[in-house]
Amino acid sequence: MKKKPLAYFLTKKFYYVPLILLGTANFLAACQKKSRLCDDIVSEGTPTQVGLTLIDRQTGENILLSRNVDPTTIKITSETTGVPAEQGMIVTQSGAPLYGALVFNIADTKKGAFKYKISIPNVDTATLSYSNREENTNSPCNPTYIVVGDPVIEEHQFTLTRTADRLLFKVSL
């Protein structure tokens, strides 16, 4: 009878041990991972946009387009903080839903009352005021959200059209 080498015997005997150890290590690593329901969910919405279309009361034409107002000269200042807001832009693409409107974003991440003073050289000034309130949801990932409420232009007559994330004002000057 032929003797088998010791290395062959040990390899045959312990062949499954590395596989068992590898499987155990994978199982333990998977069990230690704590799964949180909301970790991979982005719960931030788009910022609320305001569109101001300024209409001449006498002629009915769009003031921003007819007077060729340069958007870099328009100052939008938060009266709540005194810090200038981001620069607005005038939409000049014909056929766009906001054609001829001054568009800028407003604060909608904190509750409270907010005011923005919009100064347009050689035209007029307007003050946008609104209040943000917190409302509850049934979502475990985002239990509350902020709603922009009671938006008004204080000094002028206006009509307001509201969509999910836009406030569109038609202001008569």
Q: What angle do CA 92, 97, 103 make, to 5 degrees?
A: 60
What pLDDT is stored for residue 35 in this prediction? 55
- What is the model's pTM? 0.70
Please report the pLDDT score of residue 123 as a whole number. Answer: 86
- Note the pLDDT of residue 83: 65
Q: How far apart are alpha carbons 20 and 31 in whole angstroms?
A: 17
Q: In which band, very low, low, confident or very high, does the pLDDT at 31 lie, cut at 50, 70 and 90? A: low
**Domain layout of the chain by residue ranges:** 49-172
Strand runs (DSSP E) across the chain, as ranges?
A: 49-55, 75-78, 89-90, 102-105, 112-120, 124-136, 144-153, 157-162, 166-172
150: helix, strand or coil: strand
Q: Which residue has the higher pLDDT, 28 or 71?
A: 71
Q: Is residue 29 very low, low, confident or very high in pLDDT (cuts 50, 70, 90)?
A: low
Instruction: Take residue 70 and report the two structure tokens written for it.
Output: 């340069």
